[in-house]
Structure 1
Amino acid sequence: MPANQLAVVTGASTGIGLELARCCAQVGLNLVIAADEPAIERVAVDLRRLGGSVEPVETDLATTEGVDKLCAAVEDRPIDALLANAGVGLGKAFLDQDFGRIRHVVDTNITGTLYLIHRIGNEMLRHKSRRILITGSIAGFTPGSFQAVYNASKAFLDSFSFALREELRDSGVTVTCLMPGATDTKFFRRAEMMDTKVGTEPKHGAYEVAKAGFHAMLRGEADIVTGLKNKIQTTVANITPNEMVAKQHRKMAEPGTAKT
């Protein structure tokens, strides 16, 4: 992508989103970055050192008002790349979870993401050579016992990205789905999963994951699963009965499975 084009990155205050924003800045893209916490202001200061303009927007993308606030910050500037990364997780058994937090997962990962892509995607259709990156997950291949709502939300996004890509096939707008596995971010701590095996085991670095997704987006690829282990895991999940996969996931995500 030529320098000075505009990219919008959501969930950019930490983790994969922060590193996706860094990838954009490193190639000279101007940025509008969004997150639901004040740390997004500090991130903007850091990214500006790479040379481009960076506008931070603190907003809750789980709400239509929050998405509208982000779009208002963009104003009438054409968006060349949308990196829809905002998402939250939630561990523990479904019936033990607070329903407000359950709904927040759905509203952030699914509803807010759909609304943002619907708004910006319609603007992108007016132009050519536009790119959308959606952060899905290999979790979408697995019935996620003790992460049931989160995994289901990622299954939705994985599926949606392929469908949208086909609908836009001849439009000049490409859709790429980044499907990482467990990544070294604040995700598991925020999801209250630090007493689980998956929460405490070694993970891929966020920058390596983001870089792979960013370059897959630039190439216009349909999807990318990062890491050999994750590629094997998705292949196995596709041919294993769902009941068995859910049992295997319990061993990773059930509270109390962390090694001591």
Structure 2
Amino acid sequence: MSDNAPANGLAVITGASTGIGYELARCAAQDGYDLVIAADESRIAQAADDLRQVGGAVEAVEADLSTVDGVDRLMERIEADGRSVDLLMANAGRGLGKGFLDQDFAEARKVVDTNVTGTIYLVHQIGNHMRARGKGRILLTGSIAGFMPGSYQAVYNGTKAFINSFSFALREELKDSGISVSCLMPGPTETEFFKRADLMDTSVGQAKKDDPAEVARIGYDAMLDGEGDVVSGWKNKLQAAVANVTPASMLAHQHAKMAEPGSGAK
């Protein structure tokens, strides 16, 4: 890590090897922040090399953020240089398609542990440091999926409903602390999420998706502005608004049409 840190300080981004997380890290690098980026795959090292071309120091941490040990490993790297975190972008997430009873439970649990347990543990750790300083910005990556029951993505949508709710609650708790909490709620985005979640044979997997760079920029700017939440894209805004007034049973039926295995061929 650089001895002469830029005035903007340090940004920590999880799930930053590809997709929205990588683009969030790029936004921070362009603003002059030093970075600590983390993911559970070796490609995080290549992401760090690419981001160093933008400017600033970049530290890559390969760790399984679904585990307490993985989060602790990331925290040890962050704290090794005695620097304070100015921006935390908790973006690490995992999806899983197919019917719940057809899923391997270990994989379903990893979705919960990554999207919920590991995320809130990291926020708890860094958030306490921010509160002690009276300064900091936190961005959590939720999803418009959190607004609807996710038939054939039941566990994933449930975890995003948790993150959406958690972010608003934490924001209220910290409103007078000098810390802002924002929630980015993207819709389907052109990342490796759908391939990794085994959703490529579904309607949503094959549909046109949003640009991760645009989604990340919207979320990053909202965080810097201290906004509570932002839904990226007008179609997603409309879908979120409709979801708020549509019965849950109907939403679950509509979601099944998008995410049911084989629906992409119908």
Which bracket does the TM-score occupy, shorter chain normalised?
over 0.9
Q: CA RMSD in A?
A: 0.9
- Counterpart of 1:239 in 2: which secondary structure? coil
What TM-score comes out, normalization by structure 1 length? 0.98
Return 5+ residue gaps in structure 2 as ranges. 1-5
Residue 77 (structure 2) pairs with residue 70 (structure 1): no
- The residue identity in structure 2 corresponding to 1:166 is E
How far apart are the structure 2 equivalents of 1:51 and 1:117? 26
Aligned counterpart, 1:24:
28
User: Partners in 2 of 1:29 and 1:3 — Cα distance?
Assistant: 8
- Per-residue deviation, residues 224-245 of structure 1 (Å, max 9, x unmatched): 0000000010111110000000
1:106 aligned to which of 112, 133, 140: 112
CA distance in 2, matches of 1:126, 1:177: 22
Unpaired segments of 5 or more residues in structure 1?
Answer: none
Aligned to 2:65: 61
Alignment of 1:219-238 (within 5 A): 219-238=225-244
What's the counterpart of residue 33 of structure 1?
37
Partner deviation per Cα, 1:70-98 (whole Å, 9 max, x = no partner): 00001131000100000000000000000
Instruction: Give the AA of the match of 2:104.
Output: D
Match of 1:79 in 2: 85
1:204 is paired with a residue whose SS is coil
Residue 3 of structure 1: CA displacement? 4.3
How many percent of aligned residue pairs carry the same amino acid? 63
More off after superposition, 76-85 vs 157-166: 76-85
Partners of 1:4 and 1:52 within 8 A in 2: no
SS at match of 2:139: strand
Name the aligned partner's letter for residue 83 of structure 2.
Answer: R
* Residue deviations 1:7-47 (CA, integer Å, cap 9, x gap): 00000001100000000001100000000000000110110
Q: Alpha-carbon deviation of 1:127?
A: 1.5
| Residue in structure 1 matched with residue 151 of structure 2 by the alignment | 145
Partner of 1:48: 52
Give, as a single letter, the amino acid of the residue that structure 2 aligns with 1:240.
T
Local SS of the residue matching 1:60? coil
Mapping for residues 79-98 of structure 1, pairs under 5 Å:
79-98=85-104
1:187 paired with 2:193, answer yes
Distance 2:183 2:202 in 1: 27
For 1:249 and 1:229, the matched residues in 2 are separated by 16
Note if contact 1:80-1:130 (Cα within 8 Å) is conserved in structure 2.
Answer: yes
Q: Counterpart of 1:91 in 2: which secondary structure?
A: coil
Aligned pair 1:5/2:9, yes or no?
yes
Answer whether contact 1:20 1:214 (CA < 8 A) is retained. Answer: yes
TM-score, length-scaled by structure 2:
0.96
Number of residue pairs matched by the alignment: 259
Residues 132, 217 of structure 1: 8 Å contact kept: yes
Q: Counterparts of 1:235 and 1:180 in 2: how far apart (Å)?
A: 14
C-alpha distance in 2 between matches for 1:182 and 1:50:
27
1:70 partner amino acid: L
CA distance in 1: counterparts of 2:43 and 2:8, whole angstroms: 24
